[in-house]
Amino acid sequence: MEELGGLSTIAKAVVMAVGAVGPAVAIGMIGSKAMESIGRNPEAAGKILVPMLLACAFAEAIAIYALVIAFSI
């Protein structure tokens, strides 16, 4: 039974690692493209900021779901 405890810990670590990579890449791409578009058109910074923050929040929610799943294992 002790072996299953160790496997459970490893499973939690793998779930969190895989669940964090996707949102990390997504948030990096969102920020990158937002800065690129603000650099091309500085007047549109106000219109770009709110959708960028919403997209980052949705991407971060995926990481939170992975955390919930990791603790439910």
pLDDT at 8: 84
CATH number for the domain whose boundaries are 12-72:
1.20.20.10
Q: How big is the chain, counted in residues?
A: 73
pTM of the complete model beyond 0.85 = no
Each residue's pLDDT tens digit, 45-70: 999 999 999 999 999 999 899 888 88
Each residue's pLDDT tens digit, 28-47: 999 999 999 999 999 999 99
**Encoded amino acid at 66, one letter:** A
Q: Which long-range contacts (CB under 8 A, 24 or more apart) does 24-27 make?
A: 24/63, 26/55, 26/59, 26/62, 27/56, 27/59, 27/60
